[in-house]
A and B are shown apart, each in its own frame.
Chain A
Amino acid sequence: MATHSENQYFVPHGSVYPSILSAGLLSMAAGFVFSVATDRGGNSLAYLEGPGKWMMYFGLAVVLFMMFKWLGTVVTESITGKYKSWEDKSFRIGMVVFIASEVAFFAAFFGALFYMRILSVPDLASYSPDITPYKDFLAVWPSQGPGGNVLGAEYAPNPEFKPMHWMGLPLINTILLLTSGATITWAHWGLIKNNRKQLIIGMALTVALGIAFLICQGLEYHHAYTEMGLTLGSGAYGATFFMLTGFHGFHVTIGTLMLIVILLRCMKGHFTPEHHFGFEGVAWYWHFVDVVWLGLFIFVYML
């Protein structure tokens, strides 16, 4: 701490983007609530649905535009040399802590998976038939749960239900993501060696692999819904399968968008071998998404 290599810390000018972004989030959240609104009896409040959707789309547009403006300002500040090694260190620590918070978010869903698989599904099958409404339920995983013996047809397990096997698309996706982790590192080597061609080819490959992953996941979801009877409503397995892979896919989408921005910035020559936090931050995020996928592949698909 005693010596800073530069002696001025950049405190940016004020900005309206954060506060308008928050207002956009408010509109998005309230609009979403209106669009799915029900009263306490579960009857939908249909007259709110239309206005709610418009509020949601308007909020989303505001959020995206403000993010674009805000991040654009940051890029401008970066390429005009406002950020030196002291600020750079702030961004690095900040990104590490942010990724740690993302790990905690996924931990909640992994926790739900382990809890249901190890505790609640076996528990439901373990009670004496005298005291449980779920008399014939067996604790096997993957499970749709005991279903509608008591609660009626709405809760009946789907007889068509099949779990997703790890061979096929999931294995291809694993290979795609692991390869993309390698290509982005290869691109980083290119950046450090000041080899622009290697950098841009590496980044373009990474973007292509990310998009390929998303296409495969779309095919997988389509297959699950149309042919396997596997939906969000398929009990413990369906809920954890779609929420874990869905949030992961959402992160891959964001990661791919960030990779595209970084690719464009690489082509414009924004990064130097010494000064490229933007590149590294996105690379760290991409590796994080990669590691989460490995966890998913092992605990959701294989075991």
Chain B
Amino acid sequence: MSTTTVAHHEEHSDHPTGIMRWLTTTNHKDIGTMYLTFSLVMFLVGGLMVLGIRAELFRPGLQLMNPDFYNQLIGVHALIMIFAALMPAATGFANWMIPLQIGAPDMALPRLNNWGFWLLPPSAILLTLPFTLALFGIGDGALATGWTFYPPLSVQGGIGVDFAIFAVHLLGVSSVMGSINIIVTLFNMRAPGMTLMKMPMFAWGWLITAFLLVATIPVLAGAVTMLLTDRHFGTHFFDAAGGGDPIMFQHLFWFFGHPEVYILLLPVWGFIPQILQTFSRKPMYGYKAQVYSLWAIGALAVVVWAHHFFTAGMPVPALLYFMYSTMAISLPLAVLFFCWIKTMWKGSMSFETPMLFAVGWIILFGIGGLTGLVLADVAADAQYHNSYFVVAHFHYTLFAGGIMGIMAGVYYWLPKMTGHMYNEKLGKVHFWLTAISFNVTFIPQFFVGLAGMPRRIPDYALQFTEFNMISTVGAFILGLSQLLFVYNIIMCAKGGQKATDKVWEGAEGLEWTLSSPPPYHSFNEQPVIK
């Protein structure tokens, strides 16, 4: 391996210690670690909120909280899980792994990278502060509109809505800065000889994600800004008395909101094939087909948004267009599923924890995708809309497809990041507990949804009781088993069996050519890809 380039670091491997290291760092690994840690903490915070929701739903009637507080928990749970748990986890992996995978000395814009992370804690404070203020009698709690901010409810809401609007602004700035950084890194920092079509699949997934973020997050920022002016400065964007329309907010919101689903999933679709090929010990099947499919999905993602509110009222041609274009997404997605399965086909597979998560992910995410196809049907959606069927569907895509995918990535790369092997047995127990209790939680919700139980209501009709009890028991097991995950990560970070450089027998790619953990400044000498 010949070397051509040398990175110049102002302060070689010495860096400040303690809190100043983390506040000031421009190192992609430090920033990646902060993103991942923040994500894990917020995952637990959001999980605690949902345990409150499930405890309330254990029995019909109102037990633990008033309906307003229930609504606050629903909205903040969703915002935290989407913006503060899933997105930072994917960005954390991007920061850690993209420079290692493409042989770059660091991310292209290191100080911007630092800012991207440090915008997140203020946003988390803005999201949760209204709860604390309400304890002191200031304001009336967090936003009670659900995470979608629909007016007119959000125009009438209290200070929780304003706080959430600004939290979304800061999160948006953070995402756009992160995306700029990733796009620049991928276009300008690849090792000599690594053409675009030689990039690892994870880099492709993130490139398309970053483009989607740059195109859609500012639209969300515009939409919530209109909401803010409607609330406080007398505009009539979402008010029919001034010629506006509440449904316009739904269009603007879901123009961002639907691509957001792919923003959460595309990075996972990037590294799952890498995990599958590692543990199947054979090359990825259909690299080009996968790249083109990712592009096709990214392009379709921005033109299908109105399927989130078929029942809000739309001309029939619009309904038909949004139905068919939504269903068209299943074509490139089917190509991806085929490639993932074909990657494993006749491989000499072994089932370490990352592989267990990856295989389980394919099945569970498949269920999420197929139920989405059902919801895309306008006629069927008239019944399913706003029912627990929808809740079950998007948890199969975002918990199974998103978070379980992220967990596969954590187990896959943790030995590389920490230099120690995690506890394999504990990891497998964590997988089985998670996969089984996840299904125990959400399969019943498909049935109660089909039978007519609505979302976002703290009370329900008596006939749904048994299934809701099963669901709540599943949710508590699911929540508690994540403590194993946290324990495993902490123990792995503190010590354990030394990991080899390659870690996994079948691992391919530049990140596995470095030591475990990699040196503070890696690829000072850029490798040349043949």
Partner-B contacts on A (CB < 8 A): 1-4, 7-19, 21-23, 25-26, 29-30, 32-34, 36-40, 42, 45, 48, 70, 86, 89-90, 93-94, 97-98, 100-102, 104-109, 111-112, 115-116, 119-121, 123-124, 134, 143-148, 150-151, 155, 231-239, 242-243
Min distance, Cβ B237 to any Cβ of chain A, angstroms: 5
Shortest Cβ gap from A238 to chain B (Å): 7
Bound CA–CA A11/B218 (angstroms): 29
A239 to B114, CA, bound (A): 36
Q: Bound complex: CA of A128 vs CA of B362, how far in Å?
A: 52
In whole angstroms, what is the CA distance A22 to B123 when docked? 9
CB distance A107 to B219 under 8 Å?
yes
Contact with A along B153-176 (1 / 0, CB 8 A): 000111100110011011000001
Residue among B5, B20, B240 making CB contact with A4, cutoff 8 Å: B5
Min CB gap A250→B, angstroms? 11
- Once the chains bind, are A19 and B170 in contact (CB under 8 Å)? no
Q: Are B8 and A151 in contact (CB under 8 A)?
A: no
Cα of A14 to Cα of B24 in the assembled complex, Å: 5
B193 at interface by CB-CB < 8 Å: yes
Inter-subunit contact B236/A7 (CB<8 Å): no
**How many residues on the B side are at the interface (Cβ–Cβ under 8 A)?**
91
Q: Are A90 and B214 interface neighbours, CB within 8 A?
A: no
The reply to whether A26 and B10 form a contact with Cβ atoms under 8 Å apart is no
In the bound complex, CA of A137 to CA of B38 (Å): 53
Q: Establish whether residues B252 and A112, one from each chain, have CB atoms under 8 Å apart when the complex forms.
A: yes
List 14 A-B pairs, Cβ < 8 Å: A1-B190, A4-B5, A10-B8, A13-B26, A14-B24, A15-B24, A17-B111, A18-B111, A18-B118, A39-B159, A94-B184, A120-B248, A121-B243, A147-B241
Residue of A nearest to B521 (CB): A11
A14/B25 contact (C-beta < 8 A), A29-B126, A235-B243 known: yes
Of B194, B248, B251, the residue contacting A1 (CB under 8 A) is B194
Contact between A239 and B242, CB atoms less than 8 A apart: yes
B381 within 8 A of partner (CB): no
Kindly state whether residue B339 has any CB partner on chain A within 8 Å. no
Q: A36-B232, A93-B187 in contact; A124/B240 too (CB < 8 A)?
A: yes
Q: When the two chains form their complex, are residues B222 and A105 in contact, meaning their CB atoms are under 8 A apart? A: yes
Task: Give Cα A235–Cα B121 distance, bound, in whole angstroms.
Answer: 37
A94 touches B180 (CB 8 A): yes
Contacts of B163 in A (CB 8 A): 29-30, 33
B248 touches A115 (CB 8 A): yes
Of B101-109, B386-394, B456-464, the one touching chain A: B101-109
- On B, residues with C-beta under 8 Å from A are 4-11, 15-16, 20-21, 23-27, 104-106, 108-112, 114-115, 118-119, 121-122, 125-126, 129, 138-140, 156-159, 162-163, 166-167, 169-170, 176, 179-181, 183-184, 187-190, 192-195, 214-219, 221-223, 225-226, 229, 232-237, 239-245, 248, 251-252, 255, 521
Check if A1 sits within 8 Å of B241, measured CB to CB: no
Question: Which residues of the other chain, B, contact A231 by a CB distance below 8 angstroms?
Answer: 234
Q: A7-B4, A12-B26, A40-B158 are in contact. Are A232 and B252 (CB under 8 A)?
A: no
Q: Is the CB of B221 within 8 A of A108?
A: yes
Query: Taking each of B20, B225, B241, which has the highest tally of chain A beta carbons within 10 Å of its own beta carbon?
Result: B241
Please give the distance in Å from B263's CB to the nearest CB on chain A. Answer: 14
- Of the candidates A9, A14, A144, which one forms a contact with B242 in the assembled complex, judged by CB atoms under 8 Å apart? A144
Contact B217 A101, beta carbon cutoff 8 Å: yes
Per the bound structure, the CA–CA distance linking A235 and B184 in Å amounts to: 42
Q: How far does the alpha carbon of A155 sit from the alpha carbon of B361 in the complex, in Å?
A: 53
CA distance A19 to B118 in the complex (A): 5
List 6 A-B pairs, minimum CB-CB distance, nearest first.
Answer: A108-B222, A14-B24, A236-B243, A145-B243, A18-B115, A26-B122
Contact B229 A36, beta carbon cutoff 8 Å: no
Least CB distance from A281 to B in Å reads 13
CA distance A112 to B223 in the complex (A): 9
Q: Is the CB of A151 within 8 A of B241?
A: yes
Q: Which residue of B lies closest to A239 (CB)?
A: B235
Given contacts A115-B251, A145-B243, contact A243 B214 (CB under 8 A): no
Residue on A nearest B192 in the bound complex, by CB: A2
Given contacts A9-B8, A11-B9, A40-B157, contact A235 B140 (CB under 8 A): no
